[in-house]
Structure 1
Amino acid sequence: MSAGDRDPAGLGTPRAIGLVAPALLLIGLFLAFPALWALYIGITDYQLTGPAAAEPRVVGLDNFATALDDALFANSLRLTALFVLGSAVVGQNALGFALAWLLRGVRPVLRRAVEGVVLLAWVLPGPVVAYLWFAVLSRDGGTLDLLLGRPGTAWLVEYPMASLVVFNTWRGTAFSMLLYTSALAAVPPSQLETARLAGAGGWRTVRDVVFPHIRGHVLTNTLLISLWTANDFTPFLLTAGGPNHESEVLPVLIYRQALDSGRLGYASAMSTLLLVGNLVVALVYLRLLRRRA
């Protein structure tokens, strides 16, 4: 391979390095360094206050062993899996696709109005959305109680995880809707018309005609929303992990261990385990994408 093939822009190695250096510096400063620092803290007994805050001691893999044997960590892992499966893999995927599918044939004005409302839930800041859902789920004159005629029902206390699943589905559906709207535009209309003339119903059309064309989009969307949901801290704004750890997903548990208990080393070890879990999920999805290709 000639030098021209390796450097088609003719920049030369020093100029090329100079162009990408600012980006690499920012990535190293705000991504690589915090990640490496968290890994280091995870193998120490570093605490927020006390002697271990000034002179942390390296404890090796003790924090990881303690976390894997901790009933609270196991509980949070189970709740996080439930949260991801219910609100992302099923909830946002299904609702996002349903909206994209149903809005294909409606008038542009109505479609834009519905998309705007769905997008509003996505772009609003987390504290604002949490406040709105407090008003909906409150036991004291909450909107949901008034609609169902069940005054005094404390949804966030009696059904904390179900409330979080519905909340996150409502809040995060916009991304799935936009992605599937774009994906459905690539499905050949002739194939949809052929399925209609053959008497195929809506479900058979989606299964046999639409899904083979958008399978890659489904996997990509599921990967992204799964990772976002697994690392989402917004549940803390609604339930703070309660009652009695019944909605304490992993980000909330890590926060409590780090700031409430002051066990920064132990919390960093949990964060590393969460990162490993994210990597495993990502590798599974990427393997599925490669098999499809």
Structure 2
Amino acid sequence: MAETYINPLIIQRADPYIYKHTDGYYYFTASVPAYNLIEIRRAKTLNGLAHAAPRTVWRKHESGAMSKLIWAPELHFIDGHWFIYFAATDTEELDELGMFTHRMYCIECDAEDPMASEDNWVERGQVKTDKDTFSLDATTFEHNGKRYYVWAQKDKAIKGNSNLYIAEMANPWTLKTKPVMLSKPEFDWEIKGFWVNEGPAVLHRNHKFFMTYSASATDENYAMGMLTAADDSDLLDPASWQKSPKPVFQSDLSTNQLGPGHNSFTVSEDGQQDIMVYHCRNYSDIKGDPLYDPNRHTLVKPFSYDDNGYPVFGKPVPYNYL
């Protein structure tokens, strides 16, 4: 019998990231509604995360570059060390382009337990790219002995808020190669409210890399797209990646699941089932800026693959409590 997961799994947590570690624990982090700190919780089961107590591991600075709007932390375990990537800025004001001013940052912990103490985390500073512009939503993955970094960033020469980029890394907080753009907002479903490609997540299955991402404004128009590359191709060559012309996951009005996105991937407790982690709202009447509405909740959903080995995400799952 398939596991029944609590949904929403964790309320008021957007941009969710779940990592299953070799110690058997699931580790969870996400944006907190106040955007003022980074927390981790863990449990032996996915449902256990619903009841796990969060532990703060880093707090925003009082002033300066990492003092405002701490967004979308991701927890990674690389070569025996823990790393968290996140976006931050020094002001809540918009710039001359009408955009936030985030940059990407990295912190590191070499303790076995990443939740033991805030003091175990060391700031590695900004992850710099070739452009000094709005950037966010970094993730990383390894393949054939190379570590890659994928993120969203503004190019002033391209219409919209952000495009998706990839580069090889020299170490977990430094790029080795010049970034190349993999995707920009172009389809109708990517440019509703805002022209956005953001929140990339990488899945390696069936001799392919699947890179999901989120597009449009963070209201009911938010939807997920996907890029696909063969795992024996040059992942730094944009021509290796094919972009799906239609969204692969989007709002389902019949169950009032609206604006699903900013996903990540994990596996079931027995390791046999792939699980998508994402956030979603259950109403569209948002008062004020959707960014400051706290009710994007974390949900989890098992998914399967078609005969060609491509993921089939289906529809957002209805709430089974709340």
Greater relative contact order (CA < 8 Å, ≥ 6 in sequence): 1
**What is the TM-score of this pair, normalised by structure 1?**
0.22
Q: Which has the larger radius of gyration?
A: 1
